[in-house]
Structure 1
């Protein structure tokens, strides 16, 4: 810090991975470090920071707010696996230059307040918590994901005033928890990314409500992690009732982890039937896992079955659509 660095990054993941859950051996900043950044010499030095990334570092909201208050050039803040972070207010008396905020796996976090007029990207991955967004007029890229048992809807109400201005929306969730409120028009949304865990007969058609709400959607990226077993069976729900409206803007679709089960076949079939201007569909079947293990041959066979299902879907696609199976 005394060198007036502009980018400061601590990443102690390798040490933390030696224990479970991660973070038990997270690095702790020393008292002398706290004293330094609060004293006049330290304040003048940290004022040069424009990027601060703390991964597997025990840091409190008080310390982070100190950096936000005294780093007028700070544009990027990343905090990951900090078990000491309980509450954080991203705001200060003068307008923040902060453009990028990422909070991941801070399991003790209960409250997050954001007032950042220059914030463009907000990524949150973690458990359900109290989220307040008061001022984010240029927010364009958002990721919400985390605990498999938490519905992502907890973040949609605080984001409701900003959904119409989003350009990219990324959701990481379980298929059985895909329950969305009535969305306003996502008028500027160009790219929707969904990463989901689910069992083979779950339902992805609930995503159609999101697609229908985005009249400018150009690209859909879907990452699937599908189990054959009946995991989370007690959460299973019946097939969605979808309107079957034409999709007029979607041009590119990517599906990674295609297995040829009901969950992904039904969804891709729907897109083929209702997508009016789709130019390219890429189906990436599951690659063999456990290479060199006794399950390797079974994984290869599963992939070949998935490819056959994908090729059957390809035969139903429009001649004007480039359909790639890998």
Structure 2
């Protein structure tokens, strides 16, 4: 009976191996002489703790052995490489391996050990074929001779250590960059994002340090972070060239907004962002505060908004934010007086508890949304209230005037 496995064509074996986890692909070397070194031609490799997850092995030593084995016996190019060693206690040398990858690598992921800040070798910045680059927990300092990644379309930097100047330079030297994700743990100076092809931008850190200087094609942005000084948060700079922006998610986390005496948040942006259709605010306290003032400033500047989602923080916790000037005051009608939602179709309100400010916002929105079709209210926390209390709240909302004859109010529990 013929040995079917041993006689498979090389191209078929290649397809099989590339669809298998790296560890299992290596194990196929015992199948036959024909398979013994076939895994060494894989163009895609992933090295993670599954390869050395044995109690009798020192992980760092085993990792070094695997790297040396690949350098010795691998044939042909590697176009996609993922290294995930975040749980190693030490960061092994990977400089020679980056050098080995340099000429052909297109997709590179380096998840390096936490808290060690390994400095990636300058060789990385000579990988001219890179299209996707993902760096976790390392230091990056590109050489002065760096000419750019002229094929890179996505860049993810998480927990990296660098300077504002080098970060700006790196981004501006990626002319085809479409997707940029950054999680910056340290305080940096203002970073101007110059990426004319950028479509998706995700940022976690000090939001006030970001200036979207040249992003005419940016469609979707997510900003997450803390603000130390309220007056440093200048949305006019942050959204300086976002004329194409369609979706925005903004999360101030647990920022305690502190401002100099007499400071007031601008009522609106200098220029309306007419293309914004969706606005998500995952964490907002609906009391008069600097946070809410910034959200309302943006709402006034999104005249064509179609979808709005607010995830409300419990109003009962408001006394914990002692630094917010207006924290103890409920939302007043005059605060919302010039806020309209002429194109709003759907509104979602999360973590609803029936507080005064929540009810005021719902009432205003229903009265100023002429094309609203659905308002979805998450009543998960309201379920804790007595039945008569819930019925009273529901009845009050149902009696609010509605500008849209189609407006439907739906109560859901998303728990």
Q: CA deviation at 1:105?
A: 4.4
Residues 261-294 of structure 1: CA distance to partner in whole angstroms, max 9, x if unpaired? 123222111101211111110011345xxxxxxx
Q: CA deviation at 1:8?
A: 4.3
Cα distance in 2 for residues equivalent to 1:135 and 1:105: 20
Unaligned runs of 5+ in 2: 1-44, 46-70, 72-76, 106-126, 258-263
Matched, 1:42 2:102: yes
1:272 aligns with 2:366: yes
The alignment status of 1:232 with 2:321, answered yes or no, reads yes
Displacement of 1:217: 0.9
User: C-alpha distance in 2, partners of 1:308/1:34?
Assistant: 67
CA displacement at 1:307 relative to structure 2: 7.8
Deviations 1:150-179 (A, max 9, x none): 549635233343233211122112697594
Q: Higher relative CO (CA 8 A, sep ≥ 6), structure 1 or 2?
A: 1
Equivalent in the alignment of 2:29: none
Q: How many residues align?
A: 295
Q: Structure 1's 11 and 312: CA in aligned 2 closer, same or farther, altered over 3 A?
A: farther
Which among 262, 268, 275 is matched to residue 188 of structure 1?
A: 275
The aligned runs of 1:14-29 (5 Å cut-off) are none
Judging changes above 3 Å, is the alpha-carbon distance between structure 1 residues 303 and 169 closer, same or farther for their aligned structure 2 residues? farther
Counterpart secondary structure, 2:142: helix
Aligned residue for 1:89, secondary structure, equals helix
* 1:283 counterpart = 2:366: no
1:52-82 deviation digits (Å, cap 9, x = unpaired)? 3334x2232539x96x924x43222222233
Q: Provide the C-alpha distance between the structure 2 equivalents of 1:74 and 1:310, rounded to a whole number of angstroms.
A: 52
Relative distance call for 1:197 and 1:135 in structure 2 (3 A) is closer
Identify which of 129, 142, 146 aligns with 1:62. 142
- The superposition leaves residues 121-164 of structure 1 with CA deviations (integer Å, 9 ceiling, x where unpaired) of 11212125543444322112222221154549635233343233
For the aligned residue pairs, the C-alpha RMSD in angstroms reads 3.7
Cα 1:315–1:216 change in 2 (3 A) is same
What is residue 254 of structure 1 aligned with on the other side? 348
Change (3 A) 1:246 1:154: closer
- Listed as ranges, the gaps of 5+ residues in structure 1 are 16-24, 288-298
Other structure's SS at 1:165 match = coil
Other-structure match for 1:295 = none
Q: Shift in Å at residue 112 of structure 1? A: 2.6
Per-residue CA deviations over 1:80-107 (Å, capped at 9, x if unaligned) read: 233x234312547865221111112423
Q: In proportion to residue count, which structure has more strand? A: 1
Deviation of the 1:254 alpha carbon: 0.8
Contact 1:91-1:114 within 8 A present in 2 as well: no
1:272-311 mapped onto 2 (5 Å cutoff): 272-286=366-380, 301-302=384-385, 309-310=393-394
Q: Return the alpha-carbon distance in structure 2 between the equivalents of residues 48 and 254 of structure 1.
A: 44
Q: Structure 1's 94 and 235: CA in aligned 2 closer, same or farther, altered over 3 A?
A: closer
Contact (CA 8 Å) 1:47, 1:73: kept in 2 or not? yes
8 Å CA contact 2:226, 2:255 repeated in 1: no
Normalised by the length of structure 1, the TM-score is: 0.73
Query: Which structure: larger Rg?
Result: 2
Shift of 1:215: 2.1
> What pairs up with 1:1-326 in 2 under 5 angstroms?
4-6=78-80, 8=82, 10=84, 12=86, 30=92, 32-34=93-95, 36-37=97-98, 39=99, 42-45=102-105, 46-55=127-136, 57-62=137-142, 69-70=148-149, 72-82=150-160, 84-87=161-164, 88-91=167-170, 96-128=175-207, 130-147=209-226, 149-151=228-230, 154=233, 156-173=235-252, 177=257, 179-180=265-266, 182-183=268-269, 184-198=271-285, 201-202=287-288, 204=292, 207-229=295-317, 230-237=319-326, 239=332, 241-244=335-338, 246-286=340-380, 301-302=384-385, 309-310=393-394, 312-316=396-400, 318=402, 320-326=406-412
Residue aligned with 1:147, SS: coil
Query: Structure 2 CA distance, aligned partners of 1:233 and 1:314?
Result: 35
Give the Cα–Cα distance (whole angstroms) in 2 for the partners of residues 206 and 306 of structure 1: 31
Q: Please report how far the alpha carbon of residue 36 of structure 1 lies from its aligned counterpart in structure 2 after TM superposition.
A: 4.5
